[in-house]
Amino acid sequence: MHKGERKRVSTEWKFRRHTVDPPTILKLLEPERRHDTCIEFTVRGSPHPTLQWFYKDKEISHSEYLRPDMDTYQDYIEGCLTFKNPTHHNNGNYTLVASNELGEAISTVYGHFLDGPKFDGSETDYYYVTPTAETHKPEEDTFRVSVAVGLAAFACVVLVLLFLFINQYGRRSKFGLKGKRPMYFLMPL
């Protein structure tokens, strides 16, 4: 390599480092289940583009359940739009908009996470149960409860009588334990 060649290569490298490019979305994949669920993306642009995510034509606000995780490299950004436990309510189109001063790139992917609940031909999304004022209690349950309460009351009465009996007659010694102490209690240690 000649001295002039080296100079040309380093000038070319400096030129590439300082070029400006409009944003390009290189990769936007359908959701993939990992530890959490991820819509993987790769975006290139110089200067680095600003990324915005949209769902149902509204910008996504980030939370602990939905957040972008990304790493920025010299000439591209790569990462995931991460979902924590998505449901059928999260199904739909997700749009990534990458923009810098040279333009913007837009790409959309359909995210299907879970099937919604199936009902018997009804077209409503949810099944509502109409509350009623009546409560049906079988007679057998009330009988069981009353027997349990009766047994508990009987046990309490027996315990009270036992306590009174012990207090009344428990103070007198019937076995002569209050007499002389054995010799080993009187010996010094």
Q: What is the pLDDT of residue 105?
A: 92
- Determine the Cα–Cα distance for residues 17 and 66; give it in Å rounded to an integer: 34
Q: Which residues of 71-99 are buried (b: 16+ CB within 10 A; e: fewer)?
A: eeeeebbebbbbbeebeeebeeebbbbbb
Scan for tokens 């950004």, then name that residue: 77
Report whether the peptide linkage leading into residue 47 is cis, meaning its omega lies within 30 degrees of zero: yes
pLDDT at 64 over 80: yes
Q: What is the pLDDT of residue 63?
A: 87
Average pLDDT, the chain: 78
- Architecture (CATH level 2) of domain 10-111: Sandwich (2.60)
Domain ranges of the chain: 10-111, 140-177
